[in-house]
């Protein structure tokens, strides 16, 4: 797997929902984590380095992350 990086904002956006879902149900938290990690693994199969700029809810402020690139 190729290396990937999270800027601090995206790292927080990943950990906050993971903690939220895990508080509801450890199984739900695990499913969220597995889904995100699976997507990261798919991205890392691509030929270039992966830089994840946001982990976002698609219906909440959809374009807020654009200033990060």
Q: How far apart are CA 32 and CA 15, in angstroms?
A: 10
Element (H, E) at 16: helix 8-24
The reported pLDDT for the residue numbered 6 is 81
Task: Check whether 61 has a pLDDT greater than 80.
Answer: no
Which residues lie closer than 8 Å to 26 by C-beta, 6 or more apart? none
pTM of structure: 0.65
Task: Check whether 30 has a pLDDT greater than 70.
Answer: yes
């Amino acid at each position: 797997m190729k290396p990937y990086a999270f800027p601090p904002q995206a790292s927080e956006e990943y950990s906050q929902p993971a903690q939220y879902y895990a508080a509801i149900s450890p199984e739900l938290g695990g499913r969220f984590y597995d889904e995100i990690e699976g997507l990261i693994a798919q991205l890392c199969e691509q030929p270039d380095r992966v830089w994840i700029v946001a982990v976002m809810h698609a219906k909440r402020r959809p374009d807020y992350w654009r200033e990060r690139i």
